[in-house]
Structure formats: C-alpha cells, structure tokens
C-alpha cells in the first residue's frame, strides 16, 4: 500500500473524488433509464473494485508466517497516541496519507455496491455495515496471514469513513439523476 500512499496529495484526492462522483452520476442516470443492463455494469464495477481492494490489502509484503505481528488497537494512535509524540513531520505526513488512502480505497466499493443493489431492498445502512464488515475481515485475515501487514483499528475506521463518503455520493447522485430523468419525462409529455 505504501506505493499508493506516495501518490496521495490534495490534487490526486480531489481528482479521485470528482471521478468517483462522475461515475456515480453516470451509473445513476443509466440505472434510471435502463435498470437491468446498468445494474449488471454496476455489479461488474463493484466486483472489480472489490478485487482491487482485496489485492491491495491482502498482498503479502513478506512470506506468510515469517514476521512479527504488528497490531495497533489504539484508536487514532498515529495521530493522538503516545507514538505520535515522537513522530517526525515526514512520518506524520505518511500516516495522514495512509489514512486518506484507506478511506479513498472504499469510496468506489461503496458507490458501486450501492448502484449494484439500487433496485433491491438493500439500504444505505446495509452497504455501510457490509463495508465495515469487509474492512474488519481484511484486518483479521492480515493478522492470521502474519505476512508483514500492520493490523490497525484505524484502518477499519478510515475504510468505513470512505465507504460513508462513497454512499453519500452514490445516494446524492442517484437522487439527482432520478429527479432530472423525471423532469425530462414530464417535459417530453407536456410538449408532445
């Protein structure tokens, strides 16, 4: 994941959020217009984003079972814990970039999951709980693998925060696209 962290800066994060919002708006418009085909596309995008997330988080950095387990159970430890006092500015920037990358990683997962299940009785709360469970599961697998990954409660917090941002974007774009589509249909009916 550190390779990804090197590219986390205000410009890259802004571009990522804009691209995610645009993808969500396009999916929402397409789902309103042709739900079955577009939900298939949303499912493919969801599974693809899920695969990338699992690959990025579960790829071993050393041989499984060969290292010491690194577990951080202090909430906000990199920012407010005792180890944060001794951090240099470079380490603090790296911790911030890692947290932002963890949040950003779950934005598309939540957006595409929401759109893949938009026509079913699958609520925003269920997707959020699903993303939380996925993040917790990733951390448990990282602990069991013992392959050079740091197991951190903050990862779950930031992953879930990213999922919440993604869900808000997906929900807002879905509502916006639905209103625009209904307004366009009304205009065509009145003019026709």
Question: What is residue 134's predicted lDDT score, i.e. its pLDDT?
Answer: 97
Question: What is residue 140's predicted lDDT score, i.e. its pLDDT?
Answer: 93
Q: Which residue has the higher pLDDT, 8 or 141?
A: 141
**56-65 per-position pLDDT tens digit:** 888 877 787 7
**82-138 per-position pLDDT tens digit:** 666 566 777 777 778 888 888 999 999 999 999 888 666 567 889 999 999 999 999
SS3 7: coil
The pLDDT-based confidence of 2 (bands split at 50, 70, 90) is: very low
**10 Å Cβ neighbour count for 139?**
20
Name which of 117, 151, 114 is nearest 136 in CA terms.
151
What one-character-per-residue DSSP string does 134-150 give?
A: HHHHHHHHHHHHTSSPE
SS3 90: helix
Question: What is residue 83's predicted lDDT score, i.e. its pLDDT?
Answer: 64
Residue found by looking up tokens 């298939």 in the block? 40
């Amino acid at each position: 994941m550190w390779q990804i962290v090197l590219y986390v800066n205000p410009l890259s994060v802004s571009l990522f959020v804009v691209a995610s919002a645009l993808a969500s708006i396009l999916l929402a418009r397409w789902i309103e217009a042709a739900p079955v085909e577009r939900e298939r596309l949303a499912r493919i995008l969801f599974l693809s984003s899920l695969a990338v997330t699992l690959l990025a988080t579960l790829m071993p950095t050393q041989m499984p079972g060969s290292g010491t387990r690194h577990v951080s159970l202090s909430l906000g430890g990199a920012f407010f814990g005792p180890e944060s006092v001794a951090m240099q500015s470079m380490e603090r920037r790296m911790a911030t970039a890692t947290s932002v990358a963890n949040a950003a990683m779950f934005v598309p997962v939540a957006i595409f999951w929401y759109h893949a299940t938009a026509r079913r009785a699958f609520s925003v709360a269920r997707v959020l709980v699903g993303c939380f469970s996925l993040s917790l599961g990733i951390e448990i697998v990282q602990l069991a693998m013992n392959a050079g990954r740091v197991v951190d409660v903050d990862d779950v917090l930031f992953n879930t925060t990213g999922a919440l941002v993604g869900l808000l974007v997906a929900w807002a774009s879905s509502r916006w696209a639905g209103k625009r589509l209904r307004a366009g249909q009304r205009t065509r009916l009145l003019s026709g």
